Chain A
């Protein structure tokens, strides 16, 4: 089983639209019925909007705790406020109260309270779901707005998806990753065989691509690049290509700027099934062909 994660650094470069198209294309070729999908962008989980899957299971995700002060036994000494490094405890007309949004869950206040008046309370910060989509089982999650521990939720989504792929002997785990380079990205990259960067030839896209490639390399995962919205800025395409060339990173091709992608999103379909002959649809199909060749090439993956 191979694990492919789609990343970008900068948001909005087209990760999810490309992932959905890959899911569709995989269902047509040698990976038909061989795919498990995982949406690792848990605070903006959009793959389900395209795949419109049937929900099968859902459970609560408990991710961390917050402090709660018992006002009946509190002697209002203020020790909790002074040890808190997250400015999560405020004095409010003599009473000390915890701001649950600011609380980091470290429990430092619990251990410093002289009267034992503070306890930690577990928080439900999201939901974890398993669904059936047109193109295979989908593992996904929704972090509640402002929730913590998105990295742990990503890890949960990926672990379960991976277990399913192994159980069903499916050959490909396709992971739609989050933007950025922080904890959810690290969780999304860990264990991947290959990371495909969907970038765009914009000054911001290129800046963030470099940081993401460094992150992927830091975790020892092989990266490939494809350039979306390529015709927006040809000089940017050249810059990306020469950067990749200099760093020994394979580029798998370009996808033109095509508003049909937005129409496909509204229709709740992958671009390659909605308008297979559209400029973006054709280009993504070509990228997918090159990508599957790389995925099939076990020796390449071992490098």
Chain B
């Protein structure tokens, strides 16, 4: 069972919910956690994995052998991202524009193009004290594209695991553009964490629409319940989005999370609630 925790708006509590769900799930199941917010990965701060494996990742970008190149310009013409320019007898490559699609390499009539890995980030993995197999992607500063790192992260199983985990939890990035779509692709369920404010609602609609386009069932967690207004509840009712858990606004929780404590270790009364959340998700997938 692969569960994505997403939100649209940042700071609604995705990582809070994802890490507590993982901690509770790990009591009875084998759990794999993937922090897919490669621009701002924070789940390790709460789950404390002992990282033992590290791999650099990126995309394959072209390099042109000047001896073989005839400057015909075919590579530049097929590139949709203007990452290659032929200026007189010079071939220029702009790595920051390249998507790593390989089209230029395929069309070169002289086979003058080879590819090299342009590193844009790294993957780390390790096991947490509770036995959760943890993996994260970390994008290098100054890099624009998160999706290639995410693709590698989703496939990666470096840390020694004997079998596929019962439950995989993916902590999604904020927003509603391509990195969120890539995080959701191939998942079974989307858990939408929101706060009951106009910002929370606006952005919830965006991610709920992505889950809908991908045909994924979804449910909602309302965090900081009690602030704002009840428009999120009304929206969920109108759109048959089940509200699976409400976490009231409590300063004590906010302070503990600020210090890097997970919700279920701060307020152990939440353990059965998260266990119930997991049961509700599996029940929805079984029907």
Which of A10, A148, A186 touches B10 (beta carbons < 8 Å)?
A: A10
Looking at chain B's contact residues, the main secondary structure is loop
Q: How far is the CB of A169 from chain B (nearest CB, A)?
A: 33
CB–CB A257/B106 < 8 A: no
CB–CB B10/A107 < 8 A: no
CB contacts (< 8 Å) of B10 on chain A: these are: 8, 10-13, 44, 179
CB–CB B40/A202 < 8 A: no
Q: How far is the CB of B276 from chain A (nearest CB, A)?
A: 26
Q: Which of B20-28, B85-93, B140-148, B236-244 contacts A (4 or more CB under 8 A)?
A: B140-148
B contacts with A, residue count (CB < 8 A) = 61
Chain A residue nearest in CB terms to B59? A85
CB–CB A233/B202 < 8 A: no
* Known A-B contacts A203-B259, A208-B40; A182 and B146 likewise in contact (beta carbons under 8 Å): yes
CB–CB A104/B257 < 8 A: no
Whole-angstrom CA separation of A268 from B15 in the bound complex: 28
Whole-angstrom CA separation of A218 from B174 in the bound complex: 23
A41, A43, A145, A218 — which one has the most chain B CB atoms within 10 A of its CB? Answer: A145
CB–CB B227/A44 < 8 A: no
CB–CB B11/A44 < 8 A: no
Q: Please, what's the 1-or-0 string for B65-93, where 1 marks a CB less than 8 Å from any CB in chain A? A: 00000000000001011000000000000
CB–CB A49/B199 < 8 A: yes
Q: Is A207 an interface residue (CB 8 A)?
A: yes
Which of B11, B101, B214, B254 touches A101 (beta carbons < 8 Å)?
A: B214
CB–CB A146/B180 < 8 A: yes
CB–CB A186/B227 < 8 A: no
Whole-angstrom CA separation of A41 from B275 in the bound complex: 35
Within 34-49 of A, Cβ neighbours of B (below 8 Å) are at: 41-46, 49
Whole-angstrom CA separation of A181 from B128 in the bound complex: 27
Q: Which of B49-57, B205-213, B266-274 contacts A (4 or more CB under 8 A)?
A: B205-213
Which of A101, A211, A266, A268 touches B181 (beta carbons < 8 Å)?
A: A101
Q: Is A137 an interface residue (CB 8 A)?
A: no
Which of A146, A151, A183 touches B213 (beta carbons < 8 Å)?
A: A146
Q: How far is the CB of B228 from chain A (nearest CB, A)?
A: 5
Whole-angstrom CA separation of A13 from B40 in the bound complex: 13
Q: How far is the CB of B58 from chain A (nearest CB, A)?
A: 13
Q: Is A78 an interface residue (CB 8 A)?
A: no
Within 85-136 of B, Cβ neighbours of A (below 8 Å) are at: 99-103, 106-107
Q: How far is the CB of B265 from chain A (nearest CB, A)?
A: 14
CB contacts (< 8 Å) of A207 on chain B: these are: 40, 42, 45
Q: How far is the CB of A112 from chain B (nearest CB, A)?
A: 6
Within 2-36 of A, Cβ neighbours of B (below 8 Å) are at: 8-13, 16
Q: Is B188 an interface residue (CB 8 A)?
A: no
Q: Please, what's the 1-or-0 string for B138-167, where 1 marks a CB less than 8 Å from any CB in chain A? A: 010111111000000000000000000000
Having A219-B142, A268-B198, one finds 8 other A-B pairs with CB under 8 Å, namely A9-B39, A44-B8, A108-B103, A148-B178, A181-B139, A186-B142, A207-B42, A229-B258
> What are 26 of the A-B contact pairs (CB < 8 Å)?
A10-B10, A12-B12, A42-B177, A43-B176, A44-B174, A49-B198, A85-B102, A101-B185, A104-B101, A105-B80, A106-B103, A108-B78, A108-B106, A112-B106, A145-B210, A146-B213, A147-B176, A150-B175, A150-B178, A180-B37, A181-B40, A182-B145, A203-B45, A207-B42, A215-B142, A232-B258
Residues of A within 8 A of B (CB): 8-13, 16, 41-46, 49, 65, 83, 85-86, 101-102, 104-108, 111-112, 120, 143, 145-148, 150-151, 178-186, 200-205, 207-208, 211, 214-215, 218-219, 229, 232-233, 235-236, 257, 259, 262-263, 265-266, 268
* Across the A-B interface, the 7 shortest Cβ-Cβ residue pairs: A11-B10, A12-B11, A106-B101, A180-B39, A108-B103, A183-B144, A233-B258
